[in-house]
A and B are shown apart, each in its own frame.
Chain A
Amino acid sequence: MTWLVRSTMCDMMPAVGDQPGLADAGVDTFLATVRRESPMLVWAGLVLGAVIFAVTPVITVYVPLPSFLLPAGLRDTHANRICSTRFYLLRQAVFLLKMYACMCWGQDAAVRRRFNIAAYPADPGTFRTT
């Protein structure tokens, strides 16, 4: 299901003008890392958010197709509307996906340079072993 998570995250954060989108911000490496490191429930939450994103165009743009089969313009409208839907649980499920998309995008060095913020060095992930 990584492809679905990737696809929906990228729909949420497309490139705008010269501002890079998530697809240009190392999303594949990020998702591989999350898939490998995260607890099952976190990954399950992301997949759930992606599934909800994919199956809800019928309530946002009134088209009974999964989001990844929509034309680009409608997909973008869907992305905006589902992230702001009045159905709380749907909004929350999709928010988890959006939060991780933002984490990925915001740690990209080129993105950070654009906002005048220093790039993050690699997270050491270390701890005392003695």
Chain B
Amino acid sequence: MSHVPFQERGDVAVEADYVVVGTGAGGAAAAVTLARSGASVLMVEAGPWRDPHDYAWSTYGAMRDMMDDWGATITMGRALWPVVQARLVGGTTVINSAICVRTPEDIFGEWARNHGITGIQERVWRFQDQLEDELCVAETAPAAMGRSNELALKADAAGNFGGHVIKRYAKGCIGSGQCLQGCREMKKQSTNLNYVPEVLRRGGQILSSAPAERILFEGRRAVGVTGRFVHPQTRAKGAKFTARARKGVFVAASVTHSPVLLRRSGLTHAAVGAGFRAHPGTGVFGIYDEPVDQNFGVTQGWASTKYREDAGLKLETLSIPMEMAISRLAGGGRAFMERVVGYRHIAMWVHALRARSVGTVGAGWGGKPVIRYSFDEYDMARFRAGLVKMSEMHFAAGARVVIPGVHGIPYSLGPTELDVLANAPLDPKRYVAILSHLFGGCMMGTDPTRSVCDTRGKVHGHEGLYVADASLMPDNIGVNPQHTIMALAMIVAEGALGIA
């Protein structure tokens, strides 16, 4: 049987050449690369397998059915910022906006200088060519853009913000605005629709609702993983499973879970869980005289990387479901509800910061990941500058006022009041941010005292154990990471197969 879902009782024991923990961008890309070489592959996924007709419609349903820990994972630090990750077959590729950005050239230079990672630039880009072809990467069609994205294009034309229409892993996106809840139209090319089924067609297997609890070792060689099934609805523990690997184990359980799995399995090296980085992002609402109806059209259609190198900023449009967007309007009671009345006139645009702040990932109560992460003042200043830049964009597009969402300054600001925002206090507790791009925790590098893996993803000091997700990446990259994660995972898989 190729798919083993939740099992209540009776131990499950399966075996393959390679066991891959996780089926998101990294896990699925590694698994398909291994399977294409003729190896037998067993995927072990913590979440259930939901097909597009199983996807939730509502935000509540998405939190319940798709998000890791009901979306309740937060950073512990000076501010409590939520971390967005999915937990189902396909991982976060099911709920992201499928944005495809090539790994910037300067990243390879930084990795070489700081971590000794060399010789992968051409291979990463070659895999990215392949991915773009296989996953139908294309610019969003004008008909699917929606008013919020059109306004961003207008702002860009007026203010030269260096933007472009986003390229996405989407095949004929029709702009249904449901990216966060999963694309029921099957336009978004999440890995549960392509690479995971391909692995099964090539003779692979998958355990779903099967969170790996421990890696099994024989001496220094990883020989499998074990855990217990968890029911997707009741969260009741079910049967024990043991997935044995004849040749190797790939850990691609996410930046938050991969280091915890390694640590729980006895890898107590100080580098495990170190080097956590992110692109914290936040949104600025522009209020327009005309209705924007931001929930019509593609979730993210416009972006700019013009400010990436100097300010560390990536600017993007982002439409989130109404129920999430209104919760960001300040206050409560009648004053709050009077603000909600104008929802149709809101466009939300966001920035993501290539933050230099570094945190850690460890295991907390019940084995859940605990992320310790705080911004330093330098990052906060750039974060605030991003809010100013987004506000300038809104005004260039004709917004009447902006709502920056910073506690302690006026609720809305007009075009002549941006100095208030530019001088807002830098206390992170005053700002709302979300971490959706995560990096590190099992960093690769040549120095085994500072890194967990070598430069091809093999865990230092162990045989047959590889990491193949964003936790490998020793730095944040300043652009959406899915394309880089997938290419790196393919390189790690080729390394395990003995392909240089």
* Residues of chain A whose beta carbon lies under 8 Å from any beta carbon of chain B: 11-17, 19, 21, 30, 33-34, 37-39, 41-42, 45, 75-80, 82-84, 86, 88, 91-92, 94-95, 98-100, 102-107, 112, 115-117, 120-130
B344 touches A16 (CB 8 A): no
Given contacts A41-B72, A99-B327, A102-B327, is CB(A117)–CB(B295) below 8 Å? yes
How many Å lie between the Cα of A34 and that of B63 in the bound state? 11
Residues of B within 8 A of A129 (CB): 5-6
For window 44-102 of chain B, which residues contact chain A by CB distance below 8 Å?
Answer: 48-51, 53-61, 63-65, 69-70, 72, 79-80, 88
B113 CB–A CB distance under 8 Å: no
Let me know if A116 and B332 touch, CB within 8 A: no
Q: 7 tightest CB-CB pairs across the interface, nearest first?
A: A106-B323, A123-B61, A79-B333, A83-B332, A127-B48, A79-B332, A120-B57
Chain B residues 301 to 349 lying within 8 A of chain A, measured CB to CB, are 321-324, 326-327, 330-338, 340-341, 343-344
A83 CA to B333 CA in the complex, in Å? Answer: 9
Beta-carbon contact of B333 and A102 below 8 Å: no
CA distance A86 to B408 in the complex (A): 8
Give every chain A residue within 8 A of B57 (Cβ-Cβ).
Answer: 120-123
Please give 9 more A-B residue pairs, beta carbons under 8 A apart, in addition to A94-B332, A103-B60, A127-B88.
A37-B233, A39-B69, A39-B72, A80-B331, A102-B324, A106-B322, A128-B48, A128-B54, A130-B5
Residues B323 and A115 in contact, CB atoms below 8 Å apart: no
Closest to B61 in A: A123
5 contacts between A and B (CB under 8 A): A39-B72, A80-B336, A123-B56, A123-B61, A128-B50
Q: Which of B3, B50, B291, B331 contacts A126 (CB 8 A)?
A: B50
Known: A106-B321, A115-B322. A98 touches B327 (CB 8 A): yes
Decide if B407 is an interface residue (CB 8 Å cutoff).
Answer: yes
Whether the Cβ atoms of B49 and A127 lie closer than 8 Å is yes
Instruction: Write the chain A residue with the least CB distance to B232.
Output: A127
Report whether A84 and B331 are in contact in the complex, using a CB–CB cutoff of 8 Å: yes
Residues of A within 8 A of B59 (CB): 103, 106-107
B residues contacting A by CB (< 8 A) are 3, 5-6, 48-51, 53-61, 63-65, 69-70, 72, 79-80, 88, 208-209, 232-233, 235, 291, 293, 295, 321-324, 326-327, 330-338, 340-341, 343-344, 407-408, 429
- The interface residues of chain B lying within 8 Å CB-to-CB of A39 are 69-70, 72, 235
A contact residues around B295 at 8 Å (CB): 117
Looking across the interface, which residue of chain A has its beta carbon closest to that of B366?
A41
Chain A contact residues: helix, strand, loop or mixed: helix
**B334–A127 CB distance below 8 A:** no
**Most chain-A CB neighbours within 10 Å: which of B55, B57, B235, B336?**
B336
Contact A19 B340 (CB under 8 A): yes
| A98, B332: Cβ atoms closer than 8 Å | yes
Asked if A80 and B333 sit within 8 Å, CB to CB, the answer is yes
Number of residue pairs across A and B with beta carbons under 8 Å?
Answer: 157
Our pick among A13, A38, A128 for the contact of B337 (Cβ within 8 Å) is A13
Q: Are A102 and B323 in contact (CB under 8 A)?
A: yes
CB of A39 to closest CB in B, whole Å: 6
What's the Cα separation between A121 and B5 when bound, in Å? 26
* Choice from A13, A15, A123, A128 contacting B3 with Cβ under 8 Å: A128
Assembled-state Cα–Cα distance A39/B234 (Å): 9
Interface pair B58/A92, CB less than 8 Å apart: no
Interface centre among B56, B209, B332, B338 (most CB of A within 10 A): B332
Residues of A within 8 A of B64 (CB): 37-38, 123, 125
Q: Are B326 and A102 in contact (CB under 8 A)?
A: yes
Whole-angstrom CA separation of A121 from B53 in the bound complex: 12
- Inter-chain CA distance A25–B65, complex, in Å, is 22
Q: How far apart sit A117 and B324, CA to CA, in the bound complex (Å)?
A: 14
Q: B63: which A residues are within 8 A, CB to CB? A: 103
When distances are taken between beta carbons in the complex, the residues of chain A under 8 Å from B334 are 14, 16, 76, 80
Contact B326 A106 (CB under 8 A): yes
Is there an interface contact between A11 and B326, defined as CB atoms closer than 8 Å? Answer: no
By a CB distance below 8 angstroms, the chain A residues around B343 are 115
- Find A16's partner among B70, B80, B330, B337 (CB 8 Å cutoff): B337
Q: Cβ of A21: which chain B residues have Cβ within 8 Å of it? A: 337
* Across-interface contacts of A105 in B (CB, < 8 A): 323, 326
Chain B residues positioned under 8 Å from A126 (CB to CB): 50, 53-54
The answer on a CB contact under 8 Å between B332 and A91 is no
The contact of A38 among B70, B232, B291, B321, by CB within 8 Å, is B70
